[in-house]
Amino acid sequence: MKSPEELKIVAAKMEPLFVQFYKKNKKKIEKMDAEIHYLHQKISDNTDCLACANCCKSLGPAIYDKDIERMAKALKMKPSAFVQSYLKIDQDNDYVFQSMPCPFLMPDNYCSIYEARPKACREYPHTDRKKFSQIFNLSIKNTQTCPIVFEVLDALVRKKI
C-alpha cells in the first residue's frame, strides 16, 4: 500500500485522467453500480484500513444531529457538552471536529467510538453506495486520501469501459 504522501502525489497526477474518463463515460458509469460495488468489495477486502487511517487523520466529516446524539451518548455526555468539547461550525455551516486528526482516533488507528462513529465515517469511502456516479467528482478528490477509492477509479480507467 502506498504511503499517504505517495498516494496524494500519484492521485494528483491521475486526476486529469479520472476527470476526462468521467466526462467521456458519464452515461455508462450511471449504469455500473454493480461493477463498481464488485471492485469496491474486491479492493477493500485486500486493504487494511487500520494500516492507513488517512481518512481519520485528514478528512473532517460533516457531523449531524443524530451523530451528535449517538456520540454523546457513547461518551456519557450531554449533546451540548459534546458540541462544546469537540465540534465547531465550518464554512458550509456544518458541524465538524475542532481539530484533525479525529479526536477519537487512537494510536493504533482504531476508533475509540467505532460503534457510535458519524454517518460519514460509517459510509466512507462511498465506493459501495447506490448511484455512485452522483459522487464521482467527490470520489476523484478522495483518491488523494483513500487507497480504496484510488484503486477503484484506477481499475475503471484501466478497464476502458
pLDDT tens digits along 105-131 = 999 999 999 999 999 999 999 999 999
pLDDT tens digits along 58-94 = 999 999 999 999 999 999 999 999 999 999 999 999 9
**pTM of the predicted model, to two decimals?**
0.92
Parse the chain into domains and list their residue ranges: 4-56+125-159, 60-122
| DSSP-assigned letters across all residues of 76-87 | T--HHHHHHHHE
Q: How far apart are CA 116 and CA 102, in angstroms?
A: 14
Cell numbers 467528482 correspond to 137
